[in-house]
Structure 1
Amino acid sequence: MRPPRRPRQLSAEERSLWAEIARLIKPLRRPEAPAPTLARPRPAPEPAPVAKAPPPPPAPLPRPPWAAPAALRPSPPPPALPPLAPLERRVRTGLKRGSRSVDAVIDLHGMRQAEAHGALIGFLNRSRGAGHTVVLVVTGKGGAGGDIDRERGVLRRSVPHWLRLPEMRALVLGFEEASLHHGGSGALYVRLRRR
């Protein structure tokens, strides 16, 4: 273990220099004890009076959000999506019993996904424009076995997903599986929003 180092002593020149520096420094608060006076080798010349600089300009006020450029403005939160609702009991009962009919029907059998998606959006827009409230979308039942049969049920799985998308919420109020005489699990009743 090494012995602790002794602190180095200041030379006379260093003490004199320190005294000069300490004399020029203005203390922040009143010192508790007077600083020791050391012999000065020569008197320091008085500094020339310095012209007072003009005060700096005031800092600009922060801009309110409504005045900020559009690129810097925080974007408003997106409007809440209207929720999907099931068909009304009266409408569902009427469709099941046959006392109420659907306003329009689209059959997506045999279409590829991209083709079916475009056809569905066009159909729903036209139906809503015509004032229809309940339409039938036939997707097909799909298969139960084998890889080839499983591929046929793609639209049956995809159409409900498409109807839940945010861009479809402006058109679609709700949807549910159709009654057996309208296609059962291979078709959907879609309730459209009013214009």
Structure 2
Amino acid sequence: MCGLITDFSMSLINERLDFSTVADLFLLHGSMQSPAFLDGRLCAALALHDISVESWLQEVCLTLGVEQPRDEQAAERFLAWRRQTLDALAAVELDFEPLWPDELFTLGERAQGLKEWALGFLEVVSDAGDTPRDAWSSALREALTDLEEVAAMDTDIDDSPENENDLFALAEHARMAAMLLYTEQHPGMPQVEKADDPTHH
């Protein structure tokens, strides 16, 4: 597996991976799973204690039930997923966007993706134990409590403007919880200097 870890080509560095792209990559590996749960785990792991490229590839392969990515390009895309998430969490623009189903999916499918993401995120937070929690702000604790409600929500919803507005609000709560966890675990981040550095990928 380690032999598949190479420098990213410029096309992969500049490519924005979204939910459908990663879901298609999962399908190429014979998995019908949604990437949302694993993305939630990735976001929490990067926020709490980072996750090395080797460990990330191992977790992806374990999730997909394969020994290693099918080829070098697949491995690079999985690593680009990690780098894209880390860069977005640390970015001064605060434009972090989790891998959730977009407007091409039904509202129920989007709600299910959000729920799965929250479950993955909270799983890693729970595994971290009580030690990190001692330094967390009341705002972060409240955000994680809200996220627990997202993880328990009913996703059998109709496509209606009211439900869409509600889902958008819940998604924003989840997005802010991830950014809040990252910033509290990384004092002084985001850093404008790093964000403006053209050599930082």
Greater relative contact order (Cα 8 A, min sep 6): structure 1 or 2?
2
Q: What TM-score do you get using the length of structure 2 for normalisation? A: 0.23
More helix by share: 2
Work out which of the two has the higher radius of gyration on C-alpha atoms and give 1 or 2. 1
